Structure 1
Amino acid sequence: MGAVLAKSSSFLFILAAGYLLKRFGVFGKKDYAVLSKVVLNLTLPAAVITNFAAMEWSAQLLLIPVLAFLLNWLMMGVGLLASRRQAAPTRALFVLNCPGYNIGAFALPFVQSFLGPQAVVGACLFDVGNAIMCTGGSYAFTSAWLRAGGQRLSVRDAARRLFSSVPFDTYLAMLVLVVAGVAIPQGAVDFISPIAAANPFVAMLMVGMMFEVDLKPGYLRQMGLVLALRLGSAVLLAVAMYQLLPFSLPIRQVLAVMVFAPASVIAPAFTVKCGGDAGLAGCLNSLTILAGILGMLCTILVLGVA
């Protein structure tokens, strides 16, 4: 427990440092975009490669992307039910922000620090199915089903958005290599290991710089309900995944942690496209970060991971 608290304190310090350095003008409000490019194009792909190279492969793991994909659809259904009889922009807020998990830039750094390579690969595979929905799948469904503002997202546009993601392409490339039995040269792993090791720090600093909360009274009810739905569902799903799924212990542990990850950083943009309130969507996204930190750390402590 002491090790978990020490590591989590370090993460919280980095998050707070990113936020405070922005507030005091050391970083500009949009400087997080630079770190985002570093994470998505360098440190995160390096972390994916080094952990895939150290894993033990099993064909059973291919079920994880399917599970993540179905889980997103389940949470969209939760959002639809919770927002029935509401106006289309409000329904869009629920349908787009109840599902979706920020794995690469948020949950993966936690897993990388607390769990082993097998768990990191489990998180990457979860993000394969999750990314399909986060990068356009959930928006395409929401805009068509609710006829809520904005332009419809075509299959071609959604696919282009998905495959232009360097982390997603890295997931797929490493998955193909591992399934084909192609080993990553140890020299290559050693070469990129320092880059991979930087991923938790850079990602947490970036998230801290992105954090922004504007608690307007009119926002509180909707934000509270979405957060309650995400956290309540996460508790039930974490218990079910840990107790019922036929995977190894590290994989069941990481899946139980994944369901507490914050909402996708793209969700506010899609919410606005569907006619939603930009301030409300952005504030909600930041609050899911706080809820995610709490949920993921509590799960790690309950599972006795470290």
Structure 2
Amino acid sequence: MGGILTRSIGFLIMMLVGYLFKKNKIITVEDGRVISKIIVNITLPMALASGFQGVTITKTLVSMTFLGILANAIMLVVGFIVARKKGSMDKVFYMLNLSSYNIGNFTIPFAQAFFPASTLAALYLFDVGNGLMCLGISIAIVSSIVNSSSKFSLKEFLKILFSSPSFVTYVIMVSLTALKISLPDSVFTIVKMVGSSNTFLSMFLIGILFELNVDKDSIKTVLRVIFIRYGFALIFALIIFFILPYSRDIRSIIAMTVFAPIVSVAPIHCEKLGSDHTLAGFLNSVCIIISLVLMTLTLILVG
């Protein structure tokens, strides 16, 4: 328990340092965008690739992808039901912010401090399903609901997916692993050297981008989304940990993952579909703190 709390406090300190650097104008939000590009294009893909060393693709790992799709799909439906009597802007807001999980920039750096590579592989495959939904399928569904003239484009969908370095990394590493093609240990050594910086950079960036500016009238909407999102996360976690037939480590890491914050691109998609991206950004920031606390508690309880 002491080790879990110490590491969680360490993550919080990394975020706080980023926030204080921004507030004291040592680093600007523009600098944060540069750091974001480094993470997305270099350190995160390397961190993901390093996790596949010695991993064997099993039916259990493959099922994680479907679990990631299912979790997103359920919350997408919940968002639609909650906002069914509301306008298009609210439908977009609820559906996009109740579904999706920030795994690449938050959960993976967090989980790498507590789980071995063999267990992290389950998280990576869960994120493949999560990525398929939050980077493409969910956006297409929400767009078609609020805009009847909108049509699904397979070309655009694939373009979005394969423009994500993380998704491309998953495709390459899963393919190599499935074909039982092993990269040399020297390659993994270099990959790990680069990927090891991902945790600090990701948490530092979260601190830089953290914002808590919102009008009081919007607090009710934020609280409602938080209550529903984490309420269902609790239900998912209980089902995953106590019912699903996986090893304890896999059940633990996925039960923890469903408490992850909203995917970082949600505010961008909200803006594109005509919803309140400022409120979505505020909600995203709040969920990061809540998720850090709940994911830590989950680890303590299942550890």
TM range (shorter): over 0.9
Q: Is the 8 A contact 2:19 2:208 kept in 1?
A: yes
Q: Is the 8 A contact 2:15 2:206 kept in 1?
A: yes
Which sits farther off after the overlay, 56-65 or 121-130? 56-65
Cα distance in 2 between the residues matched to 1:241 and 1:32 = 36
Q: Is the 8 A contact 2:56 2:177 kept in 1?
A: no
Q: Give the count of matched residue pairs.
A: 303
The residue that corresponds to 1:66 in the other structure is 66
2:299 corresponds to 1:303: no
Deviation for aligned residue 1:277? 1.5
Cα distance in 1 between the residues matched to 2:180 and 2:85 = 52
The residue that corresponds to 2:153 in the other structure is 154
The residue that corresponds to 1:30 in the other structure is 30
- Distance change (3 Å), C-alpha of 1:300 and 1:260: same
Cα deviations by residue, 1:239-274 (Å, 9 ceiling, x for unpaired): 111112222222111111110111111111111222
Deviation for aligned residue 1:166? 0.8
2:222 corresponds to 1:226: no
Q: Is the 8 A contact 1:80 1:94 kept in 2?
A: yes
The residue that corresponds to 2:182 in the other structure is 183
SS at 1:221 equivalent: helix
Cα deviations by residue, 1:95-122 (Å, 9 ceiling, x for unpaired): 1110001101110001111111122111
Deviation for aligned residue 1:56? 4.2
SS at 1:31 equivalent: helix
Cα deviations by residue, 1:137-174 (Å, 9 ceiling, x for unpaired): 2121111112289x666322121011111111111111
Cα distance in 1 between the residues matched to 2:213 and 2:53 = 43
2:133 corresponds to 1:129: no
SS at 2:113 equivalent: helix
Superposed structure 1 runs of 4+ greater than 3 Å apart? none
Q: Is the 8 A contact 2:21 2:27 kept in 1?
A: yes
CA-based RMSD of the aligned residues comes to 1.5
Q: Identify unmatched segments of 5+ residues in structure 1.
A: none
The residue that corresponds to 1:100 in the other structure is 100
Which sits farther off after the overlay, 295-304 or 272-281? 272-281
Which sits farther off after the overlay, 151-160 or 176-185? 151-160
Question: Taking structure 1 as the reference length, what is the TM-score of the superposition?
Answer: 0.95
Cα distance in 2 between the residues matched to 1:200 and 1:183 = 25
Q: Equivalent residues in 2 for 1:253-272 (5 A)? A: 253-272=252-271
The residue that corresponds to 2:196 in the other structure is 197
Q: Is the 8 A contact 2:56 2:178 kept in 1?
A: no
Q: Is the 8 A contact 1:118 1:250 kept in 2?
A: no
Cα deviations by residue, 1:266-292 (Å, 9 ceiling, x for unpaired): 111111222212221111111111121
Deviation for aligned residue 1:63? 0.8
2:283 corresponds to 1:284: yes
Deviation for aligned residue 1:129? 0.6
Q: Identify unmatched segments of 5+ residues in structure 2.
A: none
- Distance change (3 Å), C-alpha of 1:152 and 1:288: farther
Question: Taking structure 2 as the reference length, what is the TM-score of the superposition?
Answer: 0.96
